[in-house]
Structure 1
Amino acid sequence: MATQLSLLILPVLLLWLVRRWFRRSLLSDIPGPPPEYLFGNIRHVVERSNVDVMLEWQEKYGSSFRVQGFLGLNKLVVSDPKTIQYVLSTAAYDFPKPEPLRIFLTAVDGENLSWAEGDVHKRQRRIISPAFGPRESKELLPVFERCAENLTAHWKDALVNHEKDGSEVINIHQSIHSATLEALCEAAFDFQGESENGDILKELYTHFNENIFPPYQAWMNGIMDHLPVWVVPPLIKFLPTRQLAFIRRHKRETFKIAEELVSEKADAISAGKGKKDIFSLLIRANKSEDVPRLRLSEQELYAQMSMLFIAGHDTTAGTMSFALWELAGHSDVQTRLRNEIREAKATAHANGKAGLTADDMENMVYLQAVLKETLRLHPAVFQVPRMASRDAVLPLSQPIKTLSGEIISQLPVPKGTQVIVSSGCYNMSKCIWGEDAYEFDPERWLKDEPVKSGASVGVLGNLMSFWSGTKACIGWRFAMVEMSCFLVEIFDQFEFRRTKDVQVYGDTLLFPLVVGEEDKGAQIPLRVSIASRD
């Protein structure tokens, strides 16, 4: 019996070893940076503060290069538009997220759209999409306007009788973060003013980034690549770290509130009293599905609530904060944007409008150029890993010269290869955006052809900031309406200048930190003053 068993096991083991060697040998011929000790290059790949290193590698090795993870595990980093189009659109469901990452996402916020793959993803997206349509997003403008007005009123109060020049240094990110959280609570869930559930959620998500991403993220990421999948859930469930304790509490509290909210909104819809917040629209669409097996389960509905908070709050707050940071360093851009805003408002009033509509803001060419340029340089998610679920051949728009000297125009990747799609490297590729790709220049969006990319990617301006294909950000229109509204209100009234000797960078999920003051948490200190109307 033992002999028979060994005869069965030996070929399987041999096949596994051959396949592993084949995968290593294929990828080992792709150029890439030399590894550092046991953990390879994973620290530079995972930690966003190392963006300069990633861009250097892109310039040196091209838009597809090899990096090494823990114990020499080869991975591919891709920013080639043709490759991105294939991985995220053409063959998207053949490149799911790695399983350890999906398990972590489930622990954080359940089986929602960001976790889902394959048929489950198709089913969830079909139900959720209508809540984020163009009309639905634009109808939320009054909510964004109220929250933006509250923000500007807060800054005006801070400037009253302050210093001789009427200016004050303000941590603008803290204020914007609070304002966008307020906007999301009302626009997505109809939490208005003070409410017990709303206050609990605000407390949870005010310091979400600080609590969820550990300082040892890089080495943990490397080790997870080698752990059996079944080991990961109990580690997340029982390890007594501060971050994991917060994750467990976050999910417990969010799901408890979501359960109450789903019941309340379902009853209101049945009684003909449903509202137009995103969660109400989502529940209405789910109830309208005729085939029960195609509906979202209650647990899936609860999980969407958590996703909306994570994806719809920190990301927009970070983007707007970096827009202010960039314009504070470019006074000419700031002045031009302010002039466009005031001219648009004057035209609207002359035409009998009470204010600007979402369509008016969408048609403000320079405002949209500023937003696109901010999104280009400061994408909320710098890169995301995907795993080849089958042997595949990746198309390339730029040929690669392998270490053995061969020129290849397509890249074979064996099943199990981790492909890291880098939106940040794509957004700042000199091959795509020109030699000034690292510079903030909204003028590039006023040209006939701002992008040199041969393949169409993304949902906005050939940018990867909202990702691309079947997994593109479902709330990108919501985000653009919100950010347009806030920037119009802010730059109409205020002028911003940078303080001396302050350098800022974005950490995970665009969490802004000041160099040398990371222990103080998220901040972008700017000198704020009332903008002249002369």
Structure 2
Amino acid sequence: MISLQFALLGCLVWVLWRVFRQYVVPSPLDVLPGPAPTSFWKGSLGRLFSRHGWDFQNELEDHYDGVAKVTGMLGRKYLYIHDPKALNSIIVRDQYVHEPTTWFTESINLMFGPGLLATYGTVLIPPAFIYMRSMWWCLLGDHHRRQRKLLNPVFSINHMRHMTPLFYKVSHNLRDALAAQVKDGSRDTDMLRWFNRTALELIGQGGLGYSFDRLVEDAPNAFGDAMKALLPAIFSMSLPRLFAPYFKYMGTPAFRRKVLDLLPLPQLHKIAQIVDTMSVQAHMIFDQKREALKAGDEAVMQQIGEGRDIMSILLRANTEASEEDRLPENELIAQMAILVFAATDTTTSALVQTLQLLIEHPDVQEKVRQEIAEAKENTNQDIPYDRLVDLPLLDAVCRETLRLYPPVTFVHRETRADIVVPLLKPITGVNGQLIREIPVQKDTPVIVGLRACNRSEAIWGPDAKEWKPERWLAPLPGSVAEAHVPGVYSNLMTFLGGGRACIGFKFSQLEMKVVLAIILESFRFSKADNGDKVVWNLAGVRYPTVGRESNKPSFPMKVELIAKN
């Protein structure tokens, strides 16, 4: 009883301190313009994390000139930013000061283990501040660099060439399954489900050397369904997940699981079940990979991917690495789960969005189909890698879709030290003074607007919010190069940049182009009977549903077979 009273007293003191700090102690962000909070308790977080929060996103993009102050829980100040010069500071130059938030990395760590998304970059801390927490940051600091060093070679362009036949094989299976569904005439088909299954199988075979789903017509796929439900479930837990950094201090993992099971939070239980499924699968695949490597090259060649998959190469590289760069077993297993987590929903979202836009622009759909046919030169051979990636219209369609509709709308960062963030374009503060740089205090949460930067009219021109693939078929406006957007891909923030750039962005691009090349050659896509009811929901990765209130991700499209292969 006494310990409970102390715990409650501690919570009360923490709340009072936060209120005092946010409402009494001045903050450098107080001079920034921003939307008024809608709640004392949640601030604007209810709007920020709403699945239908697109109006709030549009308000942040359109009404504030690259920078805004957003109010969080108990009045905490958030910096929302998409000014390109500021992004260069946050994403590249000072990336080790602007680390992913503790709640994000700890949530990923609790779910999957210490993989690439759950480790920190190097943080330089003055000797005078080496106290317990600082020492913890320093110890974790080198993990991300070591993991990325081992993973980088398997995402090279040269390795993507070797992966292309495997991607075609999976895409042919998708085509055959769709053809079986629509052989007797056009039919409304949930393409989100098919693309989700395809993306899972692509990362399964290409990433893990394992087949999750043979893409047999209407075959059940519990693992794929669980993955599809994971990110919406996480996004809906906007407030509980803020306490993730403290959960690891609650005794042993077994004790924490018992506490979790007792909490009256159905969504949290659902997340735990999904994670359990992925953990069992990851350990099983890891054991198979390890035994095959021990047995020698012949055993490796008998596996799916013939040893060219990411995990086989990673395990071999880890064995050959120096002791200081070698990763322990739990980190290798975590990479497997995180690869599947990071690659499945993002690719699915991008493919579905691309197909939706081609339905809305049937003339472009026909032109892409013609370009694919001409590239095949009247043969039944798949388009070689070098020719496929250079198809101008297909490439333009993919780039423009990823520009306007990035699967991830924004990411979170948190400052590990006091820092000054410069601005490309000065803004006027609420006090009427011109602001050219923003002092940001340690522990300030930062929201990086990826979608906002991609849609900036100052960068892309007055038609920035229009889907126009042809913009990529001519020289881009000079303002694009002048902005120096720090993205790793096509002057876009879709795949981030710097040391935290999406390591698999070439893998994702190749997946999209191979799948589109195969299905557009064989099928014509148009709006389903209930296509007008489809809405896109805001989440960690955006996803569609039929109707605003539906909790089931889905996107029906009318599919017509136009070529038999």
**Superposed counterparts of 1:41-190, under 5 Å:** 41-118=44-121, 119-161=142-184, 166-190=185-209
Q: CA deviation at 1:517?
A: 5.6
What letter matches 1:508 in structure 2? Answer: A
2:183 and 2:432 map into 1 onto residues whose CA distance is 67
In structure 1, the partner of 2:532 is: 501
Moved more, 368-377 or 248-257: 248-257
Is residue 29 from structure 1 mapped to residue 52 from structure 2 by the alignment?
Answer: no
Preserved CA contact (<8 Å) 2:292 2:299: no
Residue equivalent to 2:137: none
Given candidates 419, 434, 447, the residue that maps to 1:420 is: 447
Distance 1:449 1:415 in 2: 38
Q: Distance in 1 between matches of 2:25 and 2:313?
A: 46
User: Once the 2 structures are TM-superposed, how far is the Cα of residue 272 of structure 1 from its aligned partner?
Assistant: 8.6
Q: Aligned residue for 1:329?
A: 360
Displacement of 1:318: 1.4
**Mind listing any 5+ residue stretches in structure 2 that lack a counterpart?**
1-16, 122-141, 215-219, 302-306
Q: Which residue pairs with 2:226 in the alignment?
A: 207
SS of match in other structure, 2:550: helix
1:373 and 2:400 correspond: yes
Pair 1:435 & 2:456 matched? no
- Name the amino acid aligned to 2:182: L
Distance 1:515-1:397 versus aligned 2 partners, 3 A rule? farther
1:361 aligns with 2:388: yes
- Structure 1 residues 204 and 377: CA distance shift in structure 2, 3 A: same
Is 2:106–2:244's contact at 8 Å kept on the other side of the alignment? no
- What TM-score results when the alignment is normalised by the length of structure 1? 0.87
AA at the equivalent of 1:170: T
Taking only aligned residues, the RMSD between alpha carbons, in angstroms, comes to: 2.9
- Aligned-partner Cα distance in 2 for 1:203–1:194: 10
Moved segments of 4+, more than 4 Å = 15-24, 192-195, 225-237, 268-274
Contact between 1:108 and 1:251, CA under 8 Å: does it hold in 2? no
State the Cα deviation string for residues 48-90 of structure 1 (Å, max 9, x = none): 5313321222211221111011111110111111111111111
Q: Which runs of 5+ in 1 are unaligned?
A: 1-14, 196-200
1:481 aligns with 2:504: no
Native 8 Å contact 2:534 2:555 kept in 1: no
**What secondary structure sits across from 2:96 in the alignment?**
helix
Instruction: Describe the superposition over 1:177-233 as per-residue Cα deviations: whole angstroms up to 9, x where unpaired.
Output: 1122222221112224879xxxxx963343224245257423335x54997984698
Is residue 512–residue 524 contact of structure 1 (8 Å, CA) maintained in 2? no
SS at match of 2:532: coil
How far, CA to CA, are the matches of 1:92 and 1:149 in structure 2? Answer: 41
Partner of residue 260, structure 2: 239
Q: How far apart are the structure 1 equivalents of 2:498 and 2:211?
A: 34
| Matches of 2:244 and 2:230, distance apart in 1 | 23
Matches within 5 A, 1:365-404: 365-404=392-431
Q: Given the alignment, which residue of 277, 281, 284 partners 2:316? A: 284
Structure 1 residues 54 and 193, CA gap change in structure 2 (3 angstroms): closer
Distance (whole Å) between structure 1 residues aligned to residue 244 and residue 198 of structure 2: 38
1:470 counterpart = 2:491: no
**Which residue does 2:237 correspond to in 1?**
217
In structure 1, what is the Cα distance between the partners aligned to 2:67 and 2:394? 33
- Following TM superposition, by how much is the alpha carbon of 1:23 offset from its aligned partner in structure 2, in angstroms? 6.9
Question: Are the counterparts in 1 of residues 210 and 285 from structure 2 also a CA contact under 8 Å?
Answer: no
Aligned to 1:340: 371
Identical amino acids, percent of aligned pairs:
29
Secondary structure at the counterpart of residue 529 of structure 1:
strand
SS of the counterpart of 2:476? coil
For 2:332, which of 301, 311, 315 is the aligned residue? 301
